[in-house]
Structure 1
Amino acid sequence: MTDARRASGKNHYLWGDHCDGWRLIDGPDLSLREERIPPGCAETPHVHHVARQIFYVLAGELTIQLPGRTVVAAAGEAVEIAPGQPHLVRNVGNQDLRLLLVSSPDTAGDRHAAEPPGLP
């Protein structure tokens, strides 16, 4: 499916600066989303007190800033974020970052602003 066709679907949403998302599974106990983050874009620092998240990289390179460390993952790699762990997801590469994001339970009502995690 092309990006233009997918963007017109009912499960498509926009977030952040020029980022796209698609709700693939959207239940209260589990969500699965595909997201696209263009080069140079990032989400705001935040924390989930209940939800556990797994970021699985489809294409590009994922950079996640955590307290005291930065994790980088390439296509075919996954990063798990435990509940209560502040994080900041960024695309510092030169191509679109595409990933699958699994959250359990869903993050509705469980996204809270956080201070940017310190760099190591």
Structure 2
Amino acid sequence: MSAGSEASIPDRKPWRHGDACILVHFRLTPKSSKDAIEGVTSTSDGPAFQARVRAVPEHGAANAALEQLVARWLDLPKRSVSLAKGGKSRLKALQIDGEPEELDRLLEIKARELQR
């Protein structure tokens, strides 16, 4: 399934609840022409948000750029978003600290906005 052909949020969400946080899955493309979250895509690990950053994948720059991008996208403090898994992989898991139910609602809204 390609990113462009997906018309709805998949049955499985690209995030799951943790203890006082949510773990959100991303497929990251570094060295892009823009910083953006473009939709939900299917990966070998399940659904993930497709993200692009201008930063290069050296010395953690692309990971830091993804953390900043997601914090801006969700309008959360930068300190609330941190890399939990996938430091050297295109598939990342970010930990977003906060009330899981509120974050779940926020991510639902953001995922729907990406479908428009």
Q: Same fold (TM over 0.5)?
A: no
Larger radius of gyration: 1
Structure showing the higher strand proportion among its residues = 1
Q: TM-score, normalised by structure 2?
A: 0.31
